[in-house]
Amino acid sequence: MEVSVTVNGQVRTADVEPRTLLAHFLRDDLGLTGTNIGCDTSSCGACTVLVDGRSAKSCTMLAVQADGADVTTIEGLAGEDGLHPMQQAFHECHALQCGYCTPGMVMAAVSLVDEYSDLDADGVREGLEGNLCRCTGYQNIVKAVLAASE
């Protein structure tokens, strides 16, 4: 069926099977491969995007559910002025190594600091419970999110 989703500010329309995961719609139909897939069980958060401004796991959502929604992926975060403050903080705090979890982690972090005010380190840790990273041990990720939330 046809779905029409505003992705990173542009209306994108495609004919998809109802079972198509939002993550596959973004990656395979729209060529937005920045959104990664790391698991089958909604556990790792690598596929996190913003749906209507709030984090969602795009592997646990069907493209048809996003019909009419506003989706932001990692490709839509950096502007003409360069990196988004969250991306910049990840860079400056060395909050990424292999970078595979990074797009999802950054999107989750953007949503987190928007949703919860006055985050402290524990709040960031709890708030990122659904995003797994195997490289960094999270210390610099927490530092980056706190830096970007100020």
Partner 1 sequence: MIPAAVGYVRADSAEAAVAALGEHGDEAKLLAGGQSLIPLMRLRLARPSVLVDMGRAEDLRGISVDGDTVSIGALTSHSALEHSVELAAACPLLAHVASQVGDPAVRHRGTLGGSLAHADPASDLPAAVLALGGTLVATGPGGSREIAASDFFTGFLESALASDEVLTTVHLPVSTGGWAYQKFNRRAQDWAIVGVAVAEGGAGVSLVNMGSTPLRAAAVEAAVAGGAGASDAAAVAADGTEPPTDNNADGAYREHLVRVLTERALVAAGA
Partner 2 sequence: MTITETPFAGGIVGEARLRKEDPALLTGEAKFIDDLDLPGALWVACVRSPHAHARINGVDTSEALAVDGVVAAYSGEDLADTWVAPLPCAWPVTDDMNNPAHFPVAQGKANYAGDIVAVVVATSRYAAADGLEGVVVDYEPLDAVVSIEDAESDRVVIHEDLGTNVSYEWPLIPDPEGVDAAFEAATHHITETYVHQRLIPAPMEPRGVAVVPAPHNGDMTLYSSTQIPHVLKVMAALTLGVPEQKLRVIAPSVGGGFGCKLNVYAEEILCMALAQRHGVPVRWTESRTEAAGSTIQGRAQRQTIELAADADGKLTAVRATLLADMGAYLQLVAPGVPLLGAFLYHGLYDVPLYSFTCKSVFTNLTPTDAYRGAGRPEATYAIERGMDALAVAVGVGADEIRSRNFIPTEKFPYDSPAGLVFDSGNYQPALDRAKELIGWDARMAEQAERRAAGSTTHLGIGISTYVEMCGLAPSRVLASLNYGAGGWESATVRVLPTCKVQVVTGATPHGQGHETCWSMIVADRLGVDPDDVEVLHSDTAISPLGMDTYGSRSLSVGGTAIWMATEKVVEKAATIAAHMLEANPEDLELTGGVFSVKGSPDAEVPLAGVAFAAFTAHDLPDGVEPNLQAQVTWDPPNFTFPFGAHIAVVEIDEVTGAVDLIDYAACDDCGNQINPMIVEGQIHGGIVQGVAQALWEEAVYDEDGQCRSANLADYLVPSAAECIDMKLDHTVTPSPTNPMGVKGIGEAGTIASTPAVMNAVVNALRPLGVTGMAMPASPMTVRRAIEAAGGGAS
Is 120 among the residues that bind partner 2 (CB under 8 A)? no
The secondary structure of 32-100 as a DSSP string is -TTS----SSS-S-TTEEEETTEEEETTSSBGGGGTT-EEE-GGGT-BTTBS-HHHHHHHHTT--SS-S
From the list partner 2, partner 1, none, which binds 110 (C-beta under 5 to 8 Å, kind-based)? Answer: none
The binder of partner 1 chosen from 12, 28, 60, 75 (CB under 8 A): 60
Stretch that binds partner 2, among 26-34, 50-58, 60-68 (CB under 8 A): 26-34
Smallest separation (angstroms) from partner 1 to the CB of 71? 13
- Residue 130 interacts with partner 1 (CB under 8 A)? yes
Of 90, 101, 99, 95, nearest to 39 by C-alpha is 101
From candidates 15, 80, 81, 129, binder to partner 1 by CB under 8 A: 129
Question: Interface with partner 2 includes 140 (CB under 8 A)?
Answer: yes
Q: HSE of 86 in the Cβ direction (CA atoms, 13 Å)?
A: 21
Half-sphere exposure of 36 toward its Cβ, with a 13 Å CA cutoff? 18
**11 contact choice in partner 1, partner 2, none (CB below 5 to 8 Å, kind-dependent):** none
